[in-house]
Structure 1
């Protein structure tokens, strides 16, 4: 699965593939699935929550970890993406709250089964 988001007036591709967990582990030394599930953002519908409840739900997210996951998905889509700090520095703003919601489907696809 692949999506393109506009971040700080830049088109950024994010892609899920079988290599994502390995790329994440190689870069950050942590287990992708444990981190993803531990953050509790997959399949959580923030749009149905009232604004105060959205803020409370978002406070539970480990944003450092989410930046790492976002970088891994971007790197999977584009091998030319530089290291995480250089990549993040290329954005004047990186609206993580908006990006969490946008990346939920692609993150859910990484842990779901196609088995019937």
Structure 2
């Protein structure tokens, strides 16, 4: 899946593909899917982001501190960068990439990233079902 998002009047191309987990592991030394599953366990913060009105910022008082105990806020940064890297393997290294950004609006970025994750997972589920059907009919 490919999409783009504009932050501070700069357009960022994002993509998910077969390279995405490899780039993630290569850059961060962590397993892409393990981090995703850890993120899914922190759905409470995403629910809070979804409840915000347009133009409203997420404030500390909106969040119960207990839901942040297992949540890594740099996850969105890592995910954003790896999707940008998947779209363009020649982007700047992680630190340089973010040093050039004035802001990183998580409340705007998170829904785009989550949509890309959902699309990627749905595609994989469909492919798995098709392979299983093919195996069953050939047996």
Compute the TM-score of the two structures, normalised by the length of structure 1: 0.81
The higher-RCO structure (CA 8 Å, 6+ apart) is 1
Give the secondary-structure state (helix, strand or coil) at the position aligned to 1:81.
coil
Unaligned runs of 5+ in 1: none
- 1:80 is aligned to 2:90: yes
Q: Distance in 1 between matches of 2:119 and 2:73?
A: 20
Higher share in helix: 2
Unaligned runs of 5+ in 2: 130-139
What residue in structure 2 maps to residue 29 of structure 1? 29
- 1:3 is aligned to 2:3: yes
What residue in structure 2 maps to residue 20 of structure 1? 20
CA RMSD of aligned residues (A): 2.8
- 1:47 is aligned to 2:50: yes
Larger radius of gyration: 2
Q: Distance in 1 between matches of 2:90 and 2:113?
A: 20
Compute the TM-score of the two structures, normalised by the length of structure 2: 0.69
Higher deviation after alignment, 25-34 or 102-111? 102-111
What residue in structure 1 maps to residue 80 of structure 2? 70
Number of equivalent positions: 114
Moved over 6 A (4+): 49-52
- 1:104 is aligned to 2:111: no
Q: Distance in 2 between matches of 1:49 and 1:93?
A: 19
Q: Distance in 2 between matches of 1:70 and 1:35?
A: 13
Q: Distance in 1 between matches of 2:52 and 2:12?
A: 27
